[in-house]
Amino acid sequence: MARPDKQDSVVFDLVEENGPDGVGDGPGTPVPPPDRPSLLVRLSRVPRRTWLLVAAGVTVVAVTVAAVDLVRDDRREDLMRTSPVGVASLAARPTETWTVPFDTLAEQVQGMPTEQQVVTMGRLLVVPPAKAQRPWSAPSPDRGEPVLPGFEDVVAIDPERGEVVWRVPLGERATCGPTGYDASTSTEALVCVHGADDAREVLTIAPDGSTRARSADLAPGEQVFPGPDGLVARTSRTGEPARAVQCDPAVGCSPEALTTGRDLLVVAEDARTGTARWRAVVEFDPMNSMNCQAAVEPGDWPAVGSAVDTDVVAVRAGAETVVVDGCGVSATLSVSGTRLDLAADADGSVPAWVTELGPARFALEGEGPGTTVVDEAGETLQTLDGSVRVGPTSPDAPDDLWFVTTRTDGSGFEAQREDGSVAWSERYGWSVLLAGRDVVVVDRGSSVVGRDRSTGRELWTWGRDDLTGLTRYRTLTDGEALALAHLSRDGGGEGRLVTLDLDTGRQLWEMPMTGPVVAVGGRLVELTREGLRGLG
């Protein structure tokens, strides 16, 4: 067909010969003049059956695409339910669906957030009793140890319906582990140690609330602490006692430095049976005697600093670590007994700071500028030139980048690939709020920035002046949106939960909050001073 003149409009007329409605050649059909090519495109006859088949095909494709989207959404929601930062959906502003009040309430303590130590067991949120909670703030000299709000027992709650599934009572001086402050710790066995000094008991709690108890059988000088992976850590000092320390609150302690002291024996036992799993000796390291303050009763608080215990020791249960801290002794061990803090040092004598990165991965930062990533056995997996920035990771995000800073002021970082090459750099950011599938969200203090995960290109910026005085406390996601929890820096007042679209940074909704929000089984749960509140 000849090319029509640019000034002429092009008309496409679909003509069906002997069509079902009698439309075709006949009276009234325009006939072009013989000296000009026709601009009407004539199509051969298409039967009605063909049109019906085409329409049916289009319908099938549309339905198939919709079904695929539904399957994809279901898979995404299932994936989010497995993550401590994952929410099934953040598309709409949630409302209160249930409340579970605490057994014990407490007055507002300035500077102390409402945070509770919690752990997940299956899809249950498990909260140890208030007497087993460790306060964030130190006791006030004139008020003693603050009374924390909470439950009287270990309580397991279904985050979907808000039902108390089971309760397990504990005795005096209770402590439980492993636990954490953001519901990121999950366990198949919660271990609690409780009871009087001469009758300490080890209690193991299963996800269904069933328990098994046994006597701690403590010898003189022994202590026992709950640990991860269903173990307890039994500690005792070995060797000759350290030199006595004399202290005067006005002038300090003598000797000021402890150059000799007793080593610490750590024995990891199966919490249920008492069977020893491994042993480790933590050698005494010289330290200032003022760092060996003994635990005192609240009423004796003004005298603290005059009481020194050269054998004082405490053990904390991480998700996958046993952390020892005491007078002249410090160590971080894996659940299999490896000294992780010494794994990166060639001589095994200079301890490193250990950060848990996730299942069987640990970042070791020593005196040098770099970071060594090791596994549970202490074997090196990765060496990085700088300090690792650890932030929440969406469960659908690839494991292809490390966020590393080499600046001494703590600002800025590089997104490094596995081979050490730099994918992109962030100059102003202080932390990674979320490492998502396609977007990395960066906290720049006064603003939040979304950057393309592959290229680092800035996609959007968000910030609000009316949130001054609040700190970004926690980040949650459903894979498509980002929820930023803002809480007051002094632990009081009202905060805000603000949700942004991950692709555009557009604010979707916000709501008031008075306490931290955690994700359990894809559900939002707020921990307030009065109790727990389900949001859905």
Each residue's pLDDT expressed in tens, for the chain with a length of 536 residues: 444 444 444 444 444 444 444 444 443 444 444 444 433 334 345 455 554 454 555 444 444 434 334 445 678 999 999 999 999 999 999 999 999 999 988 665 555 556 789 999 999 999 999 999 865 444 443 444 556 789 999 999 999 999 999 999 999 999 999 999 888 999 999 999 999 999 999 999 999 999 999 999 999 999 999 999 999 999 999 998 887 888 777 777 888 889 999 999 999 999 999 999 999 999 999 999 888 877 554 444 334 445 788 999 999 999 999 999 999 999 999 999 999 999 988 777 789 999 999 999 999 998 877 899 999 999 999 999 899 998 999 999 999 999 999 877 778 999 999 898 999 999 999 899 999 999 999 999 889 999 999 999 999 999 998 888 888 989 999 999 999 999 987 766 789 999 999 999 999 999 999 899 999 999 999 999 899 999 99
Name the 3-class secondary structure at 468: coil
222: CB partners within 8 A, 6+ apart: 234, 235, 236
If one counts every other C-beta atom within 10 angstroms of the C-beta of residue 92, the result is 10
Q: CB-side exposure of 191: number of CA atoms within 13 Å?
A: 27
Give burial (CB, 10 Å; 0-12/13-18/19+) of 123: middle
Is residue 340 within 8 A of residue 364, CB to CB? The reply is: yes
DSSP code for 392? -
Name the 3-class secondary structure at 341: helix
Beta bridge partners of 334: 321
Residue with structure tokens 């014990």?
A: 104
Q: Tell me which H or E stretch contains 355.
A: strand 353-358
CA–CA gap between residue 65 and residue 69 (Å, rounded): 6
Name the 3-class secondary structure at 78: helix
If one counts every other C-beta atom within 10 angstroms of the C-beta of residue 293, the result is 17
- Of 375, 332, 372, 327, whose CA–CA distance to 351 is shortest? 332
CA–CA gap between residue 266 and residue 333 (Å, rounded): 10
Q: Which amino acid is at 103?
A: D
Is residue 434 within 8 A of residue 440, CB to CB? The reply is: yes
